[in-house]
Structure 1
């Protein structure tokens, strides 16, 4: 069976940046399972998996535009320290959920300077080229429930 829309595909992967540093991997763990054709994984990787079958291995280079997008300068802001009321010690690397007009956004603190805090709402992999090594483990038909809900049901989603 080939990977196509409304198929559930499971695969092992190792993700590296252009310097060869491992950013993420399923090695030694459970394969990643997703419902193909509904945007559950980044577009560049999903497109490369079309037509692949059990046992296929491939290397995929995903440019930022087909991954997590380019870095968007408007998502980097400097806010007053008072925006973090109730937090004792705001430090670089801390993650927060910010309320915006278009809904909640995950941000990371990138700089603390006196009473000003710089936060970045870009995805941590925005602007980066992503290099995947992939091995397809299984391809199966999605259930009607999975198609209706738009994701794989593996018992952990609470349905």
Structure 2
């Protein structure tokens, strides 16, 4: 029985290969709700839930192409410090910024390097290039 197109609720915990937990609905005390296979989730997560029955728990490992994709170096942008707004000139490596695309859509960026002349912004998703492990429990499918 497929859950494709159904509204589902799951509890999940996501870890990296070294065991580091990066996210968990259990820690928030609220299940994650989404429409299965509607493109709201990373592809491998969606596919895992598609074939689960309510009450099932699965553990999966997703390669980057089934998660947030490979890391792309062309998404690391160098901005001349002369073009950086005055209020951002004191940012440090690791600072998260919210930029806007030319169409006005929000674009998250992380400061990856700061020099006296340039600010380096990484537009890759923070999980890009990483294999992700999930334990998923299907709570509901309607």
Structure 2 length-normalised TM: 0.89
Residue 109 (structure 1) aligned to one of 87, 108, 111:
111
SS in 1 for 2:11: strand
> Superposition RMSD on alpha carbons, in Å?
1.7
Partner of residue 66, structure 1: 66
Runs of 4+ in 1 over 6 A off after TM superposition: none
Report how far residue 51 of structure 1 moved: 2.1
User: Whole-Å Cα distance in 2 between the matches of residues 100 and 115 of structure 1?
Assistant: 23
Report how far residue 26 of structure 1 moved: 1.0
Report how far residue 3 of structure 1 moved: 4.7
User: Whole-Å Cα distance in 1 between the matches of residues 2 and 34 of structure 2?
Assistant: 11
Q: Structure 1: any 5+ residue segments left out of the alignment?
A: 141-159
User: Whole-Å Cα distance in 2 between the matches of residues 30 and 73 of structure 1?
Assistant: 35
User: Whole-Å Cα distance in 1 between the matches of residues 101 and 59 of structure 2?
Assistant: 38
| Residues 3 and 9, structure 1, Cα contact 8 Å, conserved in 2 | no
Partner of residue 91, structure 1: 92
Number of residue-to-residue matches in the alignment: 139
Please show how residues 69-84 of structure 1 align to structure 2 within 5 Å. 69-84=69-84
The answer to whether the aligner puts 1:126 opposite 2:128 as a matched pair is: yes
User: Whole-Å Cα distance in 2 between the matches of residues 43 and 78 of structure 1?
Assistant: 31
